Amino acid sequence: MLNKKTKCIWLSAFVLIVTFSAFSMMTPVTAHSPKFVDVKFYLPEQVLSVYITHGVSDTSYHYIETVQIQFFNLSTEFFTYVDGLIDAGEMENRSFIQEHHVKEEFLTEYIAFNITYTEQESEEHEHQIFHHNYIMSDYFGEVGFPFIIEHYTYIRVTAYSGCADPEVDLGGQFTKNELAGQIWYDIEHSMIEALVPTLVCAVVVLTPLVIWAIIGKRREKREALMEVASK
**What does the alpha-carbon distance between residue 52 and residue 211 come to, in Å, rounded to a whole number?**
37
Model pTM above 0.85: no
- 9 burial (CB, 10 Å; 0-12 / 13-18 / 19+) is middle
Residue 16 identity: L
Q: How far apart are CA 98 and CA 120, in angstroms?
A: 33
Contact 108, 75 (CB under 8 A): yes
pLDDT, averaged in runs of 10, over the chain (231 residues): 57 58 44 79 90 76 84 93 93 88 89 76 58 83 66 91 78 88 62 56 65 71 66 60
Name every residue whose Cβ is closer than 8 Å to that of residue 60 and which is 6 or more positions away in sequence: 119, 121, 164
CA 185/CA 114 separation, integer angstroms: 23
Compute CA distances 135 → 54, 121, 138, 148, 167, whole Å: 23, 22, 6, 11, 35
